[in-house]
Amino acid sequence: MRTIESHKVNLANHALTITVEDPAGAGGASHLYRIDGFNTATNPSATFFRLHGAPAEHATVLFQNGPIGDVGVNGITHEVLIAILCDRLRGFQTGPYAQNDNATALAALEMAALFLQERTKKRVERGVEGTHTV
């Protein structure tokens, strides 16, 4: 296990600990991340207490692990995380927190999404999408 520190820029982010929970896989990247340091008891959007009788105090992010053709869809993709972040930033940009830094971050995330989509299209064209073939 290892921890990621690059997000620590304010009190909320200093409270949050990101731990990489698994070794790197065949492609060189890890698949399981755990985020600790929060408690959802005061979060009105959280449903964890209603469902489980206690607040959540950690979250996990589990990425696809293995070729989809062999193992099915067993985790999320980079594109999914980016889509969530873009949605949140678009929301801020339509509300009272609109600002240039948010717009720049949104543009960068949208660019990242386009590059990942282009990568996938090229892999589909080559007939290697969903495999370990580079």
Q: Find the mean pLDDT for residues 88-97.
A: 96
Q: How far is it, in rounded angstroms, from Cα 91 to Cα 15? A: 25
Tokens 């969530």 label which residue? 84
Q: Find the mean pLDDT for residues 56-81.
A: 95
Q: How far is it, in rounded angstroms, from Cα 109 to Cα 100? A: 14
Query: What's the predicted TM-score (pTM) here?
Result: 0.90
The pLDDT tens digits of the residues spanning 4-43 come to: 999 999 999 999 999 999 999 988 999 999 999 999 999 9
Domain range annotation of the chain? 1-76, 78-129
